[in-house]
Structure 1
Amino acid sequence: MLNKNIVNLLNEQLNRELYSAYLYLDMANYYAENNLNGFENWFYIQTQEERDHAMLYRQYLLNNGESIVLKKVDAPNIKYNNFREPLVNSLEHEQQITSFINNIYDEAYKIKDYRTMQFLDWFIKEQGEEEKNADDNLKKYDLFAGDSKGLYMLDNEMKSRIYTAPSLVL
């Protein structure tokens, strides 16, 4: 049985991951509406990853005999003024998610909840990748998207991203 505070934090994170999926789907929609299909693809795949992250939290809670508490998922309601803004928002969002996961880890460490710490180890590694990917996307945009040819090439590069399901074994 897990500590109730840990259960609450994990449930909150599950809901944050669902919001993340909404956020990235909103970004995918923005790029689709502007005919940047590679950017759309990249963020649509990110949507799938975030949904899967939520399902991993769900399964961990269920595997430990805990209840799932689903909350209302708010729409992102972000209006972008240019193609760069979603990339900046993505990086900032991933940094925020990292801080939330680190907080859960800190709480688990305080009470010596090694099982939850081990579960979160995968997410900590994953967040390092998420932040790097978001930062790389922004840097590539700043470097190459200054003209239409560069934007076209970057869009084509982002179109090549394929979905890979998470490999965390619970």
Structure 2
Amino acid sequence: MISEKMAAAINDQIKAEFDSAYIYLGMAAYFQDCNLPGMAHWMEKQYHEELEHAERFIEHLYERGARVKIGEIAKPKESYDGPLSVFKESLRHERYVTERIDKLMDQAIEEKDHATSSMLKWFVDEQVEEEANVEAIVRKLEFVGDSHASIYLLDKELGGR
């Protein structure tokens, strides 16, 4: 049986995962408006991944006999100052999510909740990958600057995800 405190923390993380999905969907919409379909596609993939993350947490609570409580999500941002600002915001957001996952892991360890620790291990590893992927795109965008041709090529590359 999972503790009420851990179940509440995971329910809060479920809300955060849905918030993340909505943020990425908003970023995808922004890129569509900018005629950058590859970047929009990349963000749509992120959107779907965040939904899958929420589902993993939901399933964990079901398996542990806890009640799932779905929280309200906020409206995402609608405009940005170009692709670099979007990906920098994405990187900040991924770092925020990493902090949340780390706190959940700390709580699971403190409570000696081995099942939750085991489940969270996947998320710890996933966040390393998420941050690295976004940081690589930020670096590319910083390198190319305002070069429309380079942004066009990067858009094509990201569309292949």
TM-score range, shorter chain: over 0.9
Task: Kindly indicate whether residue 126 of structure 2 is the aligned counterpart of residue 126 of structure 1.
Answer: yes
Distance in 2 between residues matched to 1:46 and 1:155, nearest whole Å? 15
Mapping of 1:76-95 within 5 angstroms?
76-95=76-95
Per-residue CA distance 1:76-114 (angstroms, 9 max, x = gap): 235312221110100000000000010011011111111
The equivalent of 1:166 in structure 2 is none
Report if aligned partners of 2:108, 2:117 keep a CA contact under 8 Å in 1.
Answer: yes
Consecutive aligned runs of 4 or more in structure 1 exceeding 2 Å deviation: none
Structure (1 or 2) with the greater helix fraction: 2
Separation in structure 1 between the aligned mates of residue 68 and residue 12 of structure 2, nearest angstrom: 10
TM-score normalized with structure 1 length: 0.92
TM-score (norm 2): 0.97
- 1:144: which partner in 2? 144
Match of 2:99 in 1: 99
Q: Which amino acid aligns with 1:105?
A: M
Q: What SS does structure 2 have at the residue aligned with 1:68?
A: coil
Q: CA RMSD in A?
A: 0.9
1:144, 1:154 within 8 Å by CA — same for their partners in 2? no
The residue aligned with 1:27 is 27
* 1:58 Cα deviation after fit: 0.4
Cα deviations by residue, 1:7-53 (Å, 9 ceiling, x for unpaired): 01111001100000000000000000010011000000000000000
In structure 2, what is the equivalent of residue 54 of structure 1? 54
Q: Which residue of 1 aligns with 2:9?
A: 9
Contact 2:30 2:78 survives alignment (8 Å): no
Partner of 2:158 in structure 1?
158
Measured in 2, the distance between the counterparts of 1:73 and 1:118 equals 27
Q: 1:145 deviation in Å?
A: 4.5
2:109 corresponding residue in structure 1: 109
Q: Which runs of 5+ in 2 are unaligned?
A: none
